[in-house]
Amino acid sequence: MAATVHDVAQLALRGNASGGAAVRTVSRFLFRDLRRHARLLLFNSEFTRAEFTRCVGVSPAEKVVTPLGVEPRWFDAIPSPAAAVPYFVCVGNVRPHKNLRLLLTAFMRVAVEVPHKLVVIGQHSGFRTRDEDVLKDLNAPGDRVQFLGSLPDALVHQLVAGADAMILPSLYEGFGLPALEAMAAKCMVLASTAGALPEICGNAARYFDPTSVEALTALLREQASMDQHQRNAWVERGQERARQFTWNHTADLTANALERILQSGN
């Protein structure tokens, strides 16, 4: 048996963020079954591989990291009408570990100093673990914060490409594909130091402590006043980083791992 593990959030997180006791119990059973019987385990990041061992246990299976890839279309120039005011964008579901509460708090602190809006894109319905308090807070700041829900891919691309920066405040992240997509679209990334984000973003993102409102507030303030020369340098670094993650590379790593397992006959 071979399996791909994208994260072990159901075991790593606590309380409502994990999906509750029932979800944790089922997840623990499924992951332990993988630990015992899988011959090959594929992980999207070194972080997830380490988390599997920490939360599930040591497995005799071969363990291979197969990072996700960025769709080539994200590198394409896309018409993006000039926004009336600059804005920050956040792409992520409204769940507690996405840490939108910290982002909202930090943004409202800096909103009195900068003209920016905050645009939040992501699904908010159908989750046992959605953050109801954040959903209420999203409606509080008037037109300075816009929660757009789920959108077509083309529109997400357009909004990301036109943003001053993408903010990823997650407390737990198994990979962080939106960060790479933003980099490909020439959008700067402000990312938390949690989970796999530093591993995936490397030196192409600006980082903050996801437990510190003050840290993110300061970073948003700096971002809003950054000159074009600095922005261009970060954008170039981001595109270079995003080009390192391709689906062809993912496919090659996966195929090679499967071939080794088949040839071993174990």
Residue-wise pLDDT tens digits, 123-182: 765 434 444 555 565 555 568 899 998 999 999 999 999 999 999 999 999 999 999 999
pLDDT score of 196 more than 90? yes
- Mean per-residue pLDDT over the chain, rounded: 88
Copy the structure tokens of residue 236.
Answer: 């170039």
On whether both 40 and 81 belong to a single domain, the answer is no
On whether both 150 and 162 belong to a single domain, the answer is yes
CB 213 within 8 A of CB 109: yes
- Cβ atoms within 10 A of the Cβ of 153, count? 11
- Tell me which residue range forms the domain holding 47: 2-69+246-264
On whether both 7 and 119 belong to a single domain, the answer is no
The widest CA-to-CA distance across the chain, in whole angstroms, is: 64
pLDDT tier, 79 (very low <50, low <70, confident <90, very high otherwise)? confident
Task: Please count the residues of the chain.
Answer: 266
Cα–Cα distance list, 206 to 23, 215, 238 (Å): 34, 11, 11
pLDDT tier, 80 (very low <50, low <70, confident <90, very high otherwise)? low
The structure's pTM equals 0.89
Report residue 217 CA to chain centroid gap.
Answer: 20
Return the residue matching tokens 């993912």: 250
On whether both 215 and 128 belong to a single domain, the answer is yes
pLDDT number for residue 126: 42
pLDDT score of 75 more than 90? yes
- Cβ atoms within 10 A of the Cβ of 205, count? 28
Bridge-based pairing of strands 87-91 and 145-149 is unpaired
Residues 22-41: what's their mean pLDDT? 81
